């Protein structure tokens, strides 16, 4: 083993790059804030999980044993009949007599399907919030006396009882006008709910008895409880969207400090991915401004093209989504898959990459070790793939090692799997093949007028004929 560069990660706590130093030697324990499953996740949400997965894969690439936990927030604020939201699925579910539990199960399944499409590795543990409510109540009991106070609406956390509140957010904890309506009796504006009592006369579909009355846990509580239960305190890395840096995570930190009676924030490194911006007009029309993985697939794009979109950018940069950009990433993925397929036709992956590829692996690792610079890592992978006069087996071994970190599935993905039937397609595959057979005959007879007419016919049906491609034809891509 050669000496390798240490992994450096950007810690939101210090706003600096820091070397990764695990709490438990050789092991990396990571907690990722998961979705609230009351609606579909859009592609922006999915960026967070591609990021968390890339982090996990990088840790494994660096030789750490990974223990990753992602939570599913299946308890929230859904009251019995109000607050149905404007999500069609939710309405439909409500109309068909489904419960909040059914809705949560439905959207959890949808979410996990999208993760599978994106080759996001299953975490060691999915923590489901409702399964931890008793633990949350115990947790709340343990901090109630010293850190909390009770109001009519619930149990609140006093943020002045822990050191350095809001350090992560770099924001003033108090002062300011604030547009938010104050909750009657709160001691400080930043104080937050640990337990929310069900208002008198109302009932929730999801509610539990507690020392502070019947109700539901505060959102921030669950992540502290589940992370400490599954990973122990302190653990290594906590990930989430950048929006969580301001409120959710500072509150989580406050709870951790209260519970552990320590100034430690609970996780050594807090990492936040930036947002995906969607401003394309056409796109915004669908589903009230959100685009989901399903929409990409419906338009004929392979889900991994979206992973490619994410990987091309740094996780801390805002990323602009457009169909044109998705198309570009898809073409890039396709060419890479074809290159690898060519290599696989020639050789089996070697046991080791060999000396010729070593510098590329080094550069690849250096890029990832530099706060997950996947954009550069990707170009190194492509350079290695394009190397001339190199043993195919060794090259495959190198590409396999790199792809284990990037997760593009390059060694198993086949060209034909990238041909996704668009939802709007009107012609059947068998019909296409039949026309192509006719065209082949016409070409053999040098009847190019007929052959071109058949090609035009297919083009009109959204099918592109490609004589030089092993597949022979592909769908023309549309926009969502």
Partner RNA sequence: GGCCCGAUGGCGGAGUGGCUACGCACCGGACUGCAAAUCCGUUUACGCCGGUUCGAUUCCGGCUCGGGCCUCCA
Give the one residue of 327, 358, 461, 478 binding RNA; rule: CB under 7 A.
327
Q: Is 173 in the site for RNA (CB under 7 A)?
A: no
d(CA 327, CA 325): 5
- Choose among 463, 459, 479, 462: nearest CA to 471: 463
Task: Pick between residue 161 and residue 189 the one whose CB is nearest to RNA.
Answer: 189
d(CA 152, CA 154): 6
Q: Is 250 in the site for RNA (CB under 7 A)?
A: no
Site string for RNA, 178-197 (x = CB under 7 A): xxx--------x--xx--x-
Report 431-450 residues binding RNA (CB under 7 A).
443, 448
Q: Is 480 in the site for RNA (CB under 7 A)?
A: no
Q: Is 332 in the site for RNA (CB under 7 A)?
A: yes
Q: Is 320 in the site for RNA (CB under 7 A)?
A: yes
- The DSSP annotation for 28-56 comes to EEEEE---BTTS---HHHHHHHHHHHHHH
Helix ranges, 370-460 (H): 374-386, 392-406, 429-444, 448-460
What residues contact 351, with CB distance under 8 A and at least 6 apart?
A: 397
d(CA 312, CA 296): 18
Cα angle 121, 124, 129 (rounded to 5 degrees) comes to 105
Strands 235-241 vs 267-273: parallel, antiparallel or unpaired: parallel
Q: Is 465 in the site for RNA (CB under 7 A)?
A: yes
Report 24-53 residues binding RNA (CB under 7 A).
33-36, 41-42, 44-45, 47-48
Q: Is 273 in the site for RNA (CB under 7 A)?
A: yes
Find the length of the chain: 480
Report 216-245 residues binding RNA (CB under 7 A).
216, 218-219, 240-244
Give the one residue of 25, 26, 176, 288 binding RNA; rule: CB under 7 A.
176
Cα angle 336, 387, 334 (rounded to 5 degrees) comes to 5
Number of shown-chain residues binding RNA (CB under 7 A): 84
Q: Is 406 in the site for RNA (CB under 7 A)?
A: no
Q: Is 300 in the site for RNA (CB under 7 A)?
A: no
Are 470 and 338 within 8 A, CB to CB? no
Q: Is 452 in the site for RNA (CB under 7 A)?
A: yes
Q: Which stretch binds RNA (CB under 7 A): 112-120, 215-223, 255-263, 393-401?
A: 215-223
Report 111-150 residues binding RNA (CB under 7 A).
none
The secondary structure of residue 441, as a DSSP letter, is: H
Task: Pick between residue 97 and residue 470 the one whose CB is nearest to RNA.
Answer: 470
d(CA 250, CA 238): 12
What residues contact 432, with CB distance under 8 A and at least 6 apart?
A: 458, 461, 463, 473
Task: Pick between residue 168 and residue 398 the one whose CB is nearest to RNA.
Answer: 168
- Choose among 453, 475, 479, 478: nearest CA to 466: 475
Work out the burial of residue 178: count CB atoms within 10 Å of its CB; fewer than 13 is exposed, 13-18 middle, 19 or more buried.
exposed
Task: Pick between residue 65 and residue 277 the one whose CB is nearest to RNA.
Answer: 277
Q: How far is the CB of 261 from RNA (least distance, A)?
A: 26
Give the one residue of 109, 172, 434, 445 binding RNA; rule: CB under 7 A.
172
Q: How far is the CB of 40 from RNA (least distance, A)?
A: 9
Q: How far is the CB of 25 from RNA (least distance, A)?
A: 29
Task: Pick between residue 147 and residue 196 the one whose CB is nearest to RNA.
Answer: 196
- As given in the structure block, the two tokens for residue 277 are 């911006």
Give the one residue of 318, 348, 431, 433 binding RNA; rule: CB under 7 A.
318
Q: Which stretch binds RNA (CB under 7 A): 85-93, 330-338, 354-362, 391-399?
A: 330-338
Report 69-108 residues binding RNA (CB under 7 A).
73, 76-77
Task: Pick between residue 65 and residue 170 the one whose CB is nearest to RNA.
Answer: 170
Q: Which stretch binds RNA (CB under 7 A): 23-31, 367-375, 419-427, 429-437?
A: 367-375
- Choose among 287, 377, 371: nearest CA to 43: 287
Report 368-397 residues binding RNA (CB under 7 A).
370, 373, 375-376, 378-379, 382, 386
Q: What counts of helices (H) and strands (E) characterise the chain? A: 15, 15
Q: How far is the CB of 226 from RNA (least distance, A)?
A: 14
Q: How far is the CB of 24 from RNA (least distance, A)?
A: 26
Cis peptide before 426 (omega within 30 of 0): no
Task: Return the SS3 of 201.
Answer: coil
């Amino acid at each position: 083993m050669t000496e390798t560069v240490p992994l450096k990660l950007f810690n939101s706590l210090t706003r600096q790059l820091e070397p990764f130093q695990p709490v438990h030697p050789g092991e990396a324990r990571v907690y990722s804030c998961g979705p609230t499953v009351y609606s579909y996740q859009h592609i922006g949400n999915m960026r967070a999980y591609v990021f968390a997965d890339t982090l996990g894969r990088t840790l494994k690439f660096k030789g750490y044993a990974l223990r990753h936990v992602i939570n599913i927030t299946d308890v929230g604020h859904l009251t019995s009949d109000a607050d149905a939201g404007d999500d069609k699925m939710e309405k439909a579910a409500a109309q068909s007599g489904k419960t909040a539990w059914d809705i949560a199960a439905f959207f959890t399944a949808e979410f996990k399907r999208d993760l599978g499409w994106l080759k996001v590795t299953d975490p060691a543990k999915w923590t489901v919030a409702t399964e931890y409510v008793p633990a949350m109540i115990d947790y709340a009991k343990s901090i109630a006396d010293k850190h909390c106070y009770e109001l009519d609406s619930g149990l609140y956390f006093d943020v002045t009882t822990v050191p350095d509140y809001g350090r992560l957010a770099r924001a003033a904890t108090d002062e300011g006008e604030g547009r938010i309506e104050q909750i009657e009796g709160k001691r400080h504006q930043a104080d937050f709910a640990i337990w929310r009592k069900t208002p008198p006369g109302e009932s929730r579909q999801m509610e539990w008895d507690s020392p502070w009355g019947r109700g539901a846990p505060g959102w921030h509580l669950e992540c502290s409880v589940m992370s400490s239960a599954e990973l122990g305190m302190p653990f290594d890395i906590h990930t989430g969207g950048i929006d969580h840096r301001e409120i959710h995570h500072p509150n989580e930190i406050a709870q951790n400090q209260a519970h552990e009676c320590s100034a430690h924030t609970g996780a050594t490194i807090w990492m936040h991915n930036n947002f995906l911006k969607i401003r394309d007009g056409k796109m915004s029309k669908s589903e009230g401004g959100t685009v989901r993985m399903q929409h990409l697939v419906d338009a004929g794009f392979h889900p991994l093209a979206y992973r490619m979109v994410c990987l091309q950018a740094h996780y801390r940069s805002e990323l602009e989504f457009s169909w044109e950009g998705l198309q570009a990433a898809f073409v890039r993925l396709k060419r890479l898959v074809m290159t690898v397929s060519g290599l696989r036709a020639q050789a089996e992956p070697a046991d080791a990459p060999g000396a010729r590829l070593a510098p590329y692996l080094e550069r690849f690792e250096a890029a990832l070790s530099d706060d997950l610079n996947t954009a550069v890592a990707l170009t190194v992978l492509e350079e290695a793939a394009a190397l001339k006069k190199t043993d195919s087996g060794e090259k495959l071994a190198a590409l396999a090692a790199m792809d284990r970190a990037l997760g593009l599935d390059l060694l198993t993905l086949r060209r034909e799997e990238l041909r996704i039937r668009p939802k709007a397609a009107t012609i059947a595959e068998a019909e296409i093949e039949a026309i192509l057979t006719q065209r082949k005959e016409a070409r053999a007879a040098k009847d190019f007028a007929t052959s071109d007419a058949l090609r035009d016919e297919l083009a009109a049906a959204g099918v592109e004929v490609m004589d030089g491609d092993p597949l022979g034809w592909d769908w023309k891509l549309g926009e969502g």
